[in-house]
Amino acid sequence: MKYRSLTKEQFEALHEEFALFLASQKIDAKEWKALKEEKPTVADEEMAIFSDLVWEDVLSKTTYVEHFSKQSVNFFKCEETQIHRIFVKVHKDIDLLEQEGFEWLLQHPTDESVELYTGTKAYTGERNLEIFDLIEKGAAISKGELYDYFHQLIGC
């Protein structure tokens, strides 16, 4: 397995897609039920393959990822061969995980207590695996509005 198995909730949300996947494997609902009961290892393998396909599709379409902590935020723009990072560090007694703290940052991005750093690096491994690693470490896929906001602010 390249990534990790989808959660039960994710499988439930994608039940129609999973049914189509099973159909493409020539497995109907009756056979799937029997497979789960009689050959759970094979059923797990089918679920793993489907999970990898879903992750690969999602990650291939991912351009922006962000990771928030109490005092800092990482914004990433994931291009084909390199990843750009904007790191925002706040040296003030606010919590960026709270709405009030985050709003303060958006209203005071040039405050002396706010540090902004940028960087770019080529992927050291496979692009989608590096993005997946960020997600597993707590990052979330985003639409990139905050990345673009800080990118314009920095003027890079």
- The Cα–Cα gap between 32 and 42 comes to 10
pLDDT tens for residues 58-92? 999 999 999 999 999 999 999 999 999 999 999 99
pLDDT tens for residues 38-60? 999 999 999 999 999 999 999 99
pLDDT for 3? 96
Residue 107, both tokens:
């209203």
Q: Share the mean pLDDT of the chain.
A: 95
Rounded mean pLDDT, 118-126: 96
- Whether residue 156 is predicted with pLDDT greater than 70 in this model: the reply is no
- Phi then psi for residue 132, to 5 deg, are -60, -40
Enumerate long-range contacts of 150-153, CB under 8 Å, 24 or more apart: 150/75, 150/86, 150/88, 150/109, 150/116, 151/77, 151/86, 153/109, 153/110, 153/116
Per-residue confidence band for 155, with pLDDT thresholds at 50, 70 and 90: confident
Rounded mean pLDDT, 115-141: 96
Rounded mean pLDDT, 27-35: 91
